[in-house]
């Protein structure tokens, strides 16, 4: 997948968000399905916020145009999705939810726990494990040039993979149609982005 195709996929995803965002539900979903929707929306908002933090760090440190363009696209797409998910939480469940940045989470942690994990790859519980993400960011801060960009891409692939698993699970539980459409859009867009990032890693490693 080339850069033009990736940008087209992201723009289609944003257009989908604008269209499904028009649809509103009059009542919350009760029971297990409703609880699953709330957990997904809050978890994906936090997960997207971590992606924004990573993408902003990328814009400070990356030099390759294709990598920087990807970071900008991630910020645009996932900022719009955060706003939409926040609106749904408020509209459907009367929950006002604001994510915390990694800097804010780090400020709340005891100093001995800040950045204690140096692994570059996150697991499928990454969105529920801020110390792991902060450790990953600390690891990135020690890298420069191609080494930084390749490590960042690998970390974002892991992060996207986590979002895919979250989205696939909610498809079997959600009842609000706009939420189902969002999960499907995340799967499509982030699968395409993973393919693109894998290709970038090959290019940068050559």
What was the pLDDT predicted at 21? 52
DSSP H/E element including 150? helix 145-170
**What pLDDT is attached to residue 120?**
37
Q: Which two tokens stand for residue 197?
A: 């990032």
pLDDT of 161 reads: 97
The Cα–Cα gap between 196 and 160 comes to 12
Model-level pTM greater than 0.85?
no
d(CA 134, CA 155): 12
Rounded CA gap, 25 and 176, in Å? 7
| pLDDT number for residue 44 | 98
Residue 14's pLDDT is what? 52
Instruction: Enumerate the domain spans of the chain.
Output: 31-105+119-205
pLDDT at 169: 98
Count the Cβ atoms, other than its own, within 10 Å of residue 71.
23
pLDDT along the chain (206 residues), means of 10: 59 52 63 97 97 97 97 98 98 96 73 46 44 76 94 97 98 97 98 98 96
pLDDT of residue 9: 58
The DSSP letter of residue 141 is T
Cβ partners under 8 Å of residue 196, min gap 6: 1, 3, 6, 70
Q: What is the pLDDT, as a whole number, of residue 108?
A: 73
> If you write DSSP's letter for every residue of 57-80 in order, what string do you get?
HHHHH---HHHHHHHHHHHHHHHH
Cα–Cα distances (Å) from 69 to 3, 92, 184, 189, 200, in that order, read 8, 35, 24, 15, 12
Q: What is the pLDDT of residue 55?
A: 98
Q: CA torsion sign, 57 to 59 to 63 to 67?
A: positive
- pLDDT for the residue numbered 136: 78
- Find the length of the chain: 206
C-alpha 55/C-alpha 43 separation (Å) is 18
**Tell me, what's the pLDDT at 3?**
60
- 31-105+119-205 has which CATH code? 1.20.1260.10
Q: Residue 139: what pLDDT?
A: 84
Query: What pLDDT is recorded for position 28?
Result: 80
């Amino acid at each position: 997948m080339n850069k033009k195709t990736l940008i087209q996929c992201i723009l289609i995803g944003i257009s989908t968000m604008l269209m499904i965002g028009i649809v509103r539900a009059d009542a919350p979903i009760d029971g297990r399905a409703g609880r699953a929707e709330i957990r997904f929306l809050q978890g994906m908002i936090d997960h997207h916020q971590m992606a924004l933090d990573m993408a902003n760090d990328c814009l400070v440190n990356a030099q390759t145009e294709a990598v920087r363009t990807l970071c900008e696209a991630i910020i645009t797409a996932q900022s719009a999705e955060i706003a939409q998910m926040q609106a749904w939480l408020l509209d459907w469940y009367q929950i006002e939810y604001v994510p915390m940045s990694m800097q804010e989470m780090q400020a709340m942690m005891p100093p001995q726990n800040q950045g204690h994990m140096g692994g570059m790859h996150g697991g499928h519980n990454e969105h529920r494990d801020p110390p792991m993400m902060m450790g990953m960011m600390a690891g990135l801060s020690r890298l420069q040039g191609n080494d930084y960009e390749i490590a960042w891409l690998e970390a974002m692939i892991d992060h996207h993979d986590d979002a895919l698993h979250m989205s696939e699970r909610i498809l079997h539980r959600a009842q609000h149609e706009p939420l189902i459409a969002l999960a499907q859009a995340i799967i499509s867009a982030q699968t395409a982005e993973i393919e693109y990032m894998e290709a970038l890693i090959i290019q940068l490693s050559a």
